[in-house]
Structure 1
Amino acid sequence: MDSLVYDLPALTIRRISVSEMDNNVYLLTAKASGEQVLIDAADNLSAIRQLLADAAADTSAAPRLALIATTHQHWDHVRALPELVAATGAPTAAGADDADALPVPVDRRLAHGDTVAVDGFQLEAVHLRGHTPGSIAFVYRDPDGPPHIFSGDSLFPGGVGNTQKDPERFNSLLADVTDRLFGTYPDAAVVHPGHGKPTTLGAERPHLDEWRARGW
């Protein structure tokens, strides 16, 4: 199956699913420079290596993994992280409040509103509190089209992420998702979740009151 899901003017977005948890691993490659950001080294280093190899076709430059970004600390999103860091030497980025729980040192501890940049594009860090303390969504604002939101386990088709039936955590996550995603980005924004298929903010927006009423 072809991993290429979006061929945008400045970059490509590739996705593979790994592990029994159906974790998504995303790779963004700048066409002009070849610099890459991988989001969530979830599992299966050999599959990730193949993803990197496939993305060499997306640029006329020499591809280089410039950053490994992690959406949150949960074990199923970081199982290949130590091996990938050891194999590539790429720096890492994650939310400040999750960084100490990751199995590798974190080079960039991100707060809400921070940006991470490589040669060819940048990603905005959106702190979404509730699924974990330091969950981060990474947003690429395509100048030629809708934004792309890599939401980790904070937003899925049909609802927000798991908060273990904790009302305080649920209310926190729903408030952040409502304000910092739905209140900030347009309906056309594409949501790339940590598991499963993509959606758009427009497809999910009519259901916010329903999620609030059901409490999950």
Structure 2
Amino acid sequence: MNIRYLTATFLLLISELFVNKLPAVEEVFWTATLRLIAAIVLVAWYYNLRRPLQTTTDKLFIATLIFPVFISLCVIVYPDGLRIFNLLIHAGILILWTKIFKNMGAEIKTKDESYKFLRVIPVYALVPILFYIISLHPSLPFLEEILLLIYTVIYVYAATLASFLPIGGTNKFWLSWSVVLMAFANLLVFYNTYVEPLPWLSFIPRTIVILSRCILIFGMVEYFKTKE
């Protein structure tokens, strides 16, 4: 079952390369459609592995897979609102992840595990904040500047929280770093949107996001197997 869904997901990803050769209007429509289908495939994949969804964490996780569907629908129905809507949806996904991590028992501890806190802050906090200040902040309209700042703060909190997950080493590594990679890919997309269009950025972040979501599905299923 995993191979079937994994193959379908990456075939849809590769199809986006061929869609890029279409005229602009058709390219936007078909890219959004392929991404919509890919999101549905990921949702079906996790649901079939975990049905019926037994826990709140299951339901929150599947919601993180469903949210991108609305971005694709926005591209098709109301593309002019995509910039702000994209930020809101991805911020919402990170908020769901903070709730998932808390459900798993994650808690940021500065007293007993200060060494870990000092180790993760440079990677999870300083890098995205500096990226925001140096690259994105000068190019943003006021409303989007505030929204992207909020997104950055949520990202820092979610990524730091992930490093305090009280679960096994390998599983913890894949869950926490997949969320970090997904958020980093989103920051690249925001750069492409707000600062300057870079053709090579269109496919690389998308690949990272899809790979991250596939790893997260494996990680979540394995987490529940270990727990049960």
State the TM-score, normalized to the length of structure 2: 0.28
Flag the structure with higher strand content: 1
State the TM-score, normalized to the length of structure 1: 0.29
> Which structure ranks higher in relative contact order (CA pairs < 8 Å, sequence separation ≥ 6)?
2
